[in-house]
Amino acid sequence: MLKNHKLLMYVGFLLFVVGVESCKKMDDYKQYIADKPVITYTGKIDSVKVFSGNNRVVVQGLLTADPKIVEARIYWDNRRDSLVLPIQRSADVDTIRAEITNLEDRIYNFDIVTYDNQGNKSVKVPAFGRSYGENYRSSLINRPVENARLFVLDNQLTASFGNIDLTTGIFATEISYTDIEGGKRTHRLPINEKVISIDQIDGAKEISFRSLYLPDTLCIDTFYTQYSPLKPQLFFYKNLGYPFTATNISGRWGVLEHWESNAAANAIGGRGSWDNNTGVGVLSAEAGWGTPNINNGKIHQTSTLPAGSYEVVIEFTRNNVTGNVDATNNLIYFVATDNGDIPDVAAVESATTLGYYNLSWIGDGYQTISFRFDNPTAQQVTIGFVTNLMSSSNQFFNVRGLTVFKVEE
């Protein structure tokens, strides 16, 4: 019994010594924090976005916790630059926005730190963003123009724009012009559209265009190219086809709209200068198949043209008649004059005109011809067709469309 008692006392003493040593080791950490302050972190900013701009960025974030926050500091360029933003918290989630200006054209790394009213700060929140400047602006180009046409009598502009690299951020093109009442107007064409048509435009005033860019989806500033002049081809006559339109229509025949046409050109019951036999309206002359012959059928139109060189393009067809055809009975000319009328067929080549073209036999199918004439001064110019279809053969002449435009030298 005595031996067991001594053994129990010995074991108890060992346990006491081990316990004391353990407590001493557990308290060893206190020597490292003695007299040192405890660090307290305030709430950090959440959902940070950096919006790019024109030599600037806007930093935005949310404050969702810690109502004691009173300030945010934004650092960049390795903390060589900074911005201090005072904050007044509300009871809800607050959005903070800070604009940083006068930035160079490059990418920036930012650190955002918030502070409470005791001077405690948050852990830093990193973000990056881009400021766009002269380097980016100098790389921008206007969307290319494929063609532009100004129909002077209709005060209408049509223009077609080509493709361009969309990765540059281009999203629209603007056309600046003056309307017929003298008002300055701007028309915007989105990048996914190619053709623009503008009515009520004053063609005598300058027309210009520029393109609009947003370099990335977070950009808050629109970038513009310099305005470039838009110099459309000038068209001075109405109802030039594709299709031609008509009045006084009955069946397939009608009278060509906006053109003067004489009785010989409308010998089919007062019609015939327009034909819709194929379902598409064309300028027409037809003799045979029960219709009267045409002797000096005239279709013409007058408009005031500025001085200059003009190109005429005609898309037409004539059936290939081989019987009873001679140079007197089967002639068709396109003529331009400055006297308000066009000559008879037999006099075209000897008359004083600004220009003419002999639309001689070409066979079946549509053909396109072009020629030029010069208008020496601003004046009224009459253009048109004069036709003799006087043989006993069945004949027709159709024009699908024509253009008469001023050539820019």
For 16-28, give the DSSP string: HHHHHHHHHHHTT
- Which residues on neighbouring strands pair with residue 255, listed in sequence order? 247
Within a 10 A sphere around the Cβ of 175, how many other Cβ atoms?
22
pLDDT score at 304: 93
Domain that holds residue 201: 140-235
> What confidence tens digit (pLDDT) does each residue in 59-82 have?
999 998 888 999 999 999 999 999
pLDDT score at 153: 87
Radius of gyration of the chain (CA): 42
Residues 301 and 237 sit within 8 Å (Cβ to Cβ) = yes
Coil, strand or helix at 5: helix
Distance CA 262, CA 299 (A): 7
pLDDT at 290 over 70: yes
Same domain, yes or no: 272 and 381: yes
Distance CA 40, CA 74 (A): 20
pLDDT score at 11: 45
% of the chain beyond a pLDDT of 90? 77
How high is the mean pLDDT of the chain? 89
Same domain, yes or no: 383 and 265: yes
Same domain, yes or no: 203 and 102: no
Tokens of 229: 């002049």
pLDDT at 18 over 80: no
pLDDT score at 301: 97
Same domain, yes or no: 122 and 148: no
> What confidence tens digit (pLDDT) does each residue in 213-257 have?
999 999 999 999 999 999 998 889 999 999 999 999 999 999 999
Pairing of β 125-132 and β 46-54: parallel
Choice between 362 and 2, residue whose per-residue pLDDT is larger: 362
Distance CA 286, CA 254 (A): 12
Distance CA 139, CA 144 (A): 15
> What confidence tens digit (pLDDT) does each residue in 24-46 have?
444 554 454 455 565 677 889 99
pLDDT score at 42: 87
> What confidence tens digit (pLDDT) does each residue in 2-15 have?
444 454 455 454 54
pLDDT score at 54: 97
pLDDT at 309 over 90: yes
Is residue 377 in some structural domain?
A: yes
Same domain, yes or no: 387 and 258: yes
pLDDT score at 29: 46
Same domain, yes or no: 231 and 147: yes
| Count of domains for the chain | 3
pLDDT at 17 over 50: no
Same domain, yes or no: 192 and 165: yes
pLDDT score at 330: 84
The 10 Å CB-count burial string (b at 16+, else e) for 188-198 is ebebeeeebeb
Is residue 32 in some structural domain?
A: no
Distance CA 292, CA 254 (A): 15
Pairing of β 145-151 and β 233-235: parallel
Tokens of 146: 């494929």
pLDDT score at 36: 54
> What confidence tens digit (pLDDT) does each residue in 132-157 have?
999 999 999 999 999 999 999 889 99
**Residue in this structure with the two tokens 């029960």, named with its chain if needed:** 290
Same domain, yes or no: 125 and 156: no
Residues 194 and 161 sit within 8 Å (Cβ to Cβ) = yes
Is residue 37 in some structural domain?
A: no
Q: Counting every residue, how long is the chain?
A: 409
Is residue 33 in some structural domain?
A: no
pTM of the entire predicted model: 0.72
CA 66 to chain CA centroid, Å, is 49
pLDDT score at 21: 52
Same domain, yes or no: 229 and 324: no
Same domain, yes or no: 176 and 117: no
